[in-house]
Amino acid sequence: MTDTDFSAALQNDRGPRGPRDLPSLAAAFSRARRSEVPSYAPAAFRNAVEAWRVANAASGDERAREYALEQAVHALADAEARADRAAEVLQNVTQLRAAALRSERERFTASEVLADAEEHYRLAVGRAEEGDLQAAEAEADAAESSFREATLLALERGPVVALETAVREGEFTTSPAGLRAASAELGDIREAVDTTKRGEQGVTQLRRRLAVGGRRIGSALDDLLDPTIIDPVLPTDPIGPVRPGKPERVTAIRVTERAADSLTVTWLSPPTFADRNVLLRQREAGPWEPVEEFGPLQGWTTHTDTGLDPETLYCYRVQSENDQGIVATPVDKRAGGYTRATESIRVWRVQLRVRTADVADAGTSDAIEARLTSPLSTFNPNGNRRWLDYGPRWEGSGLSGWRDDFARDREFTYDLDQRYVRELSDITMLTIAKDGTDAVGIAEIGLLVNNEEVFTRVFGETASSCLWIDDGDGHQPQYTVWHGELRADPKWQAYVAGSRPRPFTIPNAELVSRIESLVGHAIHGTEAYWGEFSSPAWVEATFVDSERLHVDIDLEADVPVLSDPEIDIDFDLRFSFSCDQAAGTATLSITSENLGANVDFDFLTELFGTVLTLGQFGRLEKWIANEITDSFDPIVERILADTGGICPTATVLQNGDVIFGLG
């Protein structure tokens, strides 16, 4: 193409060579996203985006700029052509996938089937983009079949199991006629499930049948007999105690210890009298079954439930009985816990990678947190959470060059909270949640353990395919990747099966990231924020001597009366070991020293509130030192295990790295 030909082609905004300038090309990319081009030709679209960025960056040489623009136009046209061909094959399965990724029930109860569907979908997209439509259609059919299987399995393991449980437990409170009606309706529902499995009716028809049958079973189970007929008045035992009514429910029950094949359950029996107490167990979403029977109980009782499967969720409740009736632990008070994995894989670092979509309104200024365990106090493990807040990064020019957390088309990797996460099996879910109504659109997430990615989920690059998290506009304020989904990811399985070398070096960048994550979490909900950028980084950790790093943290406070004072917090971290050679143990100590701040400490205490008095530590720098120590303990244990108990040493290098050596 000659220069004259190219210039002529650029005169027509939608001519044979496409847009004639960068703004028109930007509009063309927006149209391509709305047309789902990234969904049907993701690799080609990524190539086009990269070419567009090159064109945006081109300056000075007009011919070079025009050439870069031409390359971007060609790349976008190629992506659009590939997407048009692929859409014919992929449209149905793409819609099924989007629905499955947003279905809590399907992802929780049918994770393995969905993992198989996801692999077929990935292959279908790849084959379609390559132009092999026959192979793409075969993979798309397999994916569609798996997605439908997951939907049916989720209905079986969810509503159907719940109705079966309700009918089974209704025998204590329902009249014979009502119980017969409920059982008959349940039989019809089971037949409807079998009919759907045989392909004689669709899933939509089964959903309707479940809705109707659920209402009928509910009405039948409410058909109660007169209480005097169910619980006839018995002659009073003149010798025994007076029993005015049914026993109180057990409401304080917890899983207190976890092993690969057992869970220890502890509960508090109320003071009201029960002749018989039964500890009941539920595996995943299955039926309740008795574990152990006890007579009258008072105070705290502990029982270890053995013979369990590893990496499995079990729930517990106590059923208490006397001659006046039967009661059980309420739904919201039941204890739950995951057994551990057979192999203990120690964890010293967990990170979350988040990439926001490059679509309108995908960025957010709302606060976002990540959790690795259940937020419910009745589950074990629980309590892990981290607010994600790092200082803005410089990624351009001018004021617009500053890119903050969760800006549009931004990828950032955050260090997460490691409390209650000492082994890989302690990670029982991954939840991303946010405050406020400024929605965030997420294109992709990844979970990293010990610096290796163990889970990846790509949602999509368009407004209709990316994951929207929000407390409004019809979205959900949180998204959870469940236990089974994590384990089903091939990357997780490869990590478990592979070798995991011990780390002898903690890079300075990792230490800085950990500290920045801790500070970002600490300032959430306070008047503090990342300060004016006047040094190389918001958090720095620099060499002092072979045992110490100097930490500098730059913040400001939103206190108008004080004109938003700068808060410069400085302290040293000292790394040292104490060892018991006879016992073959070592203890890493990271202690804080030489605290300095350019504002009054009382003001800091008031600003950070409870963070500065967390546990036994009275100051922010001590809290940071303790958190880092706890997260590095698994590294020390791994080194000791692999080296026969030889006492390690810690050395700070000139570049700020920390080296664990052998004494």
User: Could you report the per-residue pLDDT of 39-75, keeping only the tens digit for each?
Assistant: 999 999 999 888 888 887 776 677 877 888 888 889 9
Q: Is the pLDDT of residue 581 over 90?
A: no
**How do strand 548-557 and strand 528-530 relate by DSSP bridges?**
antiparallel
Return the pLDDT at 2: 38
Q: Give tens-digit pLDDT for 242-264.
A: 445 788 899 999 999 999 999 99
Q: How far apart are CA 436 and CA 275, in angstroms?
A: 50
Q: Flag whether pLDDT at 542 surpasses 60.
A: yes
Q: Can you spell out the DSSP letters for 102-137?
A: T-HHHHHH-HHHHHHHHHHHHHHHHHHHHT-HHHHH
Q: Which pLDDT does position 366 carry in this prediction?
A: 93
Q: Is 368:445 a contact under the CB 8 Å cutoff?
A: no
Give the Å distances, CA to CA, from 303 to 250, 275, 279, 382.
15, 18, 9, 21
pLDDT of 216 higher than 80: yes
Element (H, E) at 418: none
**pLDDT band for position 535 (50/70/90)?**
low
To 5 degrees, how large is the angle CA 165–CA 168–CA 169?
85
Chain segment 111-164, per-residue pLDDT in tens: 999 999 999 999 999 999 999 999 999 999 999 999 999 999 988 888 888 888
* Number of Cβ within a 10 Å radius of residue 397: 7
Q: Average pLDDT, whole number, for the chain?
A: 85
- Indicate the SS3 state at residue 521: helix
Higher-confidence residue of 483 and 391: namely: 483
